[in-house]
Structure 1
Amino acid sequence: MTLIAVLPGDGIGPEVTAEAVRVLTALDLGLTFEEAPVGGAGYDADGHPLPSATLDLARRADAVLFGAVGDTRYDGLERRLRPEQAILGLRAALGLFANLRPARLFKGLEDASTLKREVAERIDMVIIRELNGDVYFGEKGIRPTADGRRQGYDVMAYAEDEVRRIAHVGFRTAQGRKGRLCSVDKANVLETSQLWRDVVIEVAAEYPDVALSHMYVDNAAMQLVRDPGQFDVILTGNLFGDILSDQASMCAGSIGMLPSAALNDGGKGLYEPIHGSAPDIAGQGRANPCATILSAAMMLRHSLNRPEAADRIEAAVATAIAGGARTADLGGTLSTRAMADAVLAAL
């Protein structure tokens, strides 16, 4: 039995994960789904964004399908109880250190991108973001200054081994694509980034078939708009990867189209759309389910060893989009359910 932990979360999370489960069920792969609350829903149910029963399910499952967490209703909580802490807790508890975020322009969405058609249609990259280090996990707090004012601080730190293991993921990914890896950092001003660059260069010696380049993050942000087609695999840290992957999503038409995978050393993964919980449209049936459906395809490929089924889902999404299926974020009128229906029809 293959067990999938379904953690819908908050906002539009339950809507989009339900459609991804429909698509997976249609493939008749013998998957078993078990659902549990997380994020704000977890706090409401158990007083914590990552209830112990939810974490236990995630540990037992073969893979985790995650929706989204967050809502302004919880902004008054202390930081450790806010919905977003659930995803950080899952990453730490499951050892999920490698975040794969593919971005490509689906045929038919050329005009959905804010970039010129001839620029946008060349987008086909994977952003690999390290997930367990950087400012998100460093020491943080508020402290008084000498004059009695407040100072906030967040420590950015990377250990050599953390950089080395994510670098290997990046180079192996590039080997399976076009053989080009661009490491993005800020080594001109950050010691953390200098270590990152030094270690990536060391690891590169083990992959002579991959062309390595380096780019400062501010330049990378500019190049994603100017010429995104130049990138094959982008390797970067937690903070920079978070920002650049969201930017890449809009270059490719909509954040509602981009999936992601968070993997550990054993191939177990958590799969989620890169978009947030969008509480402003929650419950209205307006969310685009494609990013979550494509995340389910990544789950089949990376954790469940079902690459043919993954190919079928991705081809079905491409067929539905090429046939004119559009939710509001893509300039269309289809509901969340109707968009998934179009994917199922193509499947």
Structure 2
Amino acid sequence: MSAKKLLILPGDGIGQEVMVQVRRIIDWMGKKRGVAFDVSEGLIGGSAYDVHGTPLADETLADAMAADAVLLGAVGGPKWDDLPFEKKPERGLLKIRKEMGLFANLRPAVVFDALVEASTLKPEVVKGLDIMIVRELTGGLYFGQPRGIETLPDGQRKGVNTLTYTTSEIQRIGRAAFDLARKRRKKLTSVDKANVLECTVLWREEMIKLHKEEYSDVELEHLYVDNAAMQLVRNPRQFDVMVTENMFGDILSDCAAMLTGSLGMLPSASLGAADATGARKALYEPVHGSAPDIAGKDMANPLACILSFSMCLRYSFDMTAEADMIDNAVKTVLAGGLRTGDIMAAGKAKVSTTVMGEAIVRELDKMG
């Protein structure tokens, strides 16, 4: 089997610690499953700024463009809070997404049976929850022009951001979401604010057209974003796949994340368009941030990063069996009572980042 080219960008804070545990699983795959990975490592975010004076060096971006997939830890921290806006660690993340053309962000929100009690919602509300939020990632308010802050003639300051989408941008994220829904429970919820924002009137019109012309076998419903937020905490299991624009998706996916009890449990995938061979540029990262308050203390939950690697195997390398092995190992370890601090509960065993990673590898060993 030819080597799969993988670029690892641990980033800042706990990103570096959780990625160590992913490397152990990558090594295990090579030794026990005969899967060859050509792994290289680079810098992004604050760690890249410290070395290169920029949160994403041109050489690192070139490596990412040449890789079959990119695994990222986390970026940011108070150390870099006073940097100019364009130098902040988060700008490196936005740039790599934009330059790689990663327009579709997939964020699953799954409640593992062993963690039902970790959610702040009642168990009967979240038990069995399995949602996929598809967020448009390269357009909308985060990238629209004009943008900026200006001083008006009367001395007031004005901030401007622009919400903009084209037909083709809406259609490509719509197809990605419909395709996912078709493989799951055949229900898609499109979230907009079409009662106020003309841009999302266009969004809704294009989703309706796409549904009618290409995906009539999938159930399509529309919700305003404020109602969608309410419904996520009222009755989240009504949803299967949700699709929405960039900023709405950012907010709703974090809301959905906390239904599961911890951001430390949730992976994500950011995918580009398929080329002539069917291959896509792809970046995988945990939803959690860099958590500088616990960085370097061997306390972070590595499971979101490990599950992000599982998504990498599933979506970039078509290694469904290996991805299932990782997912099942996580379920088994949690069922056995091991917990990092963020998901700790009475009667469970609190363990470190390292011990949690070791436990996952031991379960993989049992599966062979």
Same fold (TM over 0.5): yes
1:9 counterpart (8, 11, 14): 11
Amino acid at match of 2:270: A
Distance in 1 between residues matched to 2:26 and 2:218, nearest whole Å: 35
Deviation at 1:152, TM superposition (A): 1.1
Amino acid at match of 2:25: V
Name the structure 2 match of 1:244. 252
Distance in 2 between residues matched to 1:289 and 1:249, nearest whole Å: 16
Deviation at 1:147, TM superposition (A): 2.4
2:316 counterpart (295, 303, 316): 303
Taking the TM superposition and a 5 Å limit, the aligned residue runs for 1:31-46 are 31-46=37-52
Deviation at 1:333, TM superposition (A): 1.9
The answer on 1:292 being equivalent to 2:321 is no
Distance in 2 between residues matched to 1:156 and 1:74, nearest whole Å: 28
How many residues are aligned here? Answer: 347
The answer on 1:75 being equivalent to 2:77 is no
TM-superposition CA deviations, 1:129-164 (whole Å, max 9, x none):
000101111122111234211111111111111000
TM-superposition CA deviations, 1:272-318 (whole Å, max 9, x none):
00111111111111110000000000001111121111111111111
TM-superposition CA deviations, 1:142-193 (whole Å, max 9, x none):
1123421111111111111100000000000000000000001111111111
1:338 counterpart (317, 342, 355): 355
The runs of 5 or more residues in structure 1 that have no matched partner are: none
Distance in 1 between residues matched to 2:320 and 2:161, nearest whole Å: 40
The answer on 1:25 being equivalent to 2:27 is yes
Deviation at 1:72, TM superposition (A): 1.7
Distance in 2 between residues matched to 1:145 and 1:193, nearest whole Å: 29
SS in 1 for 2:56: coil
Conservation of the 8 A alpha-carbon contact between 2:112 and 2:128: no
Give the TM-score, by structure 2 length: 0.93
Name the structure 2 match of 1:84. 90
TM-superposition CA deviations, 1:220-255 (whole Å, max 9, x none):
111111100000000011101111111111101111
The runs of 5 or more residues in structure 2 that have no matched partner are: 275-279
Name the structure 2 match of 1:53. 59
Conservation of the 8 A alpha-carbon contact between 2:101 and 2:281: no
Distance in 2 between residues matched to 1:246 and 1:281, nearest whole Å: 20
Name the structure 1 match of 2:169. 162
Amino acid at match of 1:239: M
SS in 2 for 1:111: helix
TM-superposition CA deviations, 1:255-281 (whole Å, max 9, x none):
101100000112221000011111111
Taking the TM superposition and a 5 Å limit, the aligned residue runs for 1:234-273 are 234-266=242-274, 267-273=280-286
Deviation at 1:319, TM superposition (A): 0.9
Distance in 2 between residues matched to 1:159 and 1:287, nearest whole Å: 40
Deviation at 1:24, TM superposition (A): 2.1
Amino acid at match of 2:57: P
TM-superposition CA deviations, 1:70-96 (whole Å, max 9, x none):
112212222111100111111111111
Name the structure 2 match of 1:201. 208
The answer on 1:153 being equivalent to 2:160 is yes
2:71 counterpart (65, 73, 91): 65
Identity %: 50
Amino acid at match of 1:225: V
Conservation of the 8 A alpha-carbon contact between 1:122 and 1:228: no
Distance in 1 between residues matched to 2:363 and 2:238, nearest whole Å: 31
Taking the TM superposition and a 5 Å limit, the aligned residue runs for 1:81-230 are 81-139=87-145, 140-205=147-212, 206-230=214-238
Distance in 1 between residues matched to 2:81 and 2:193, nearest whole Å: 31
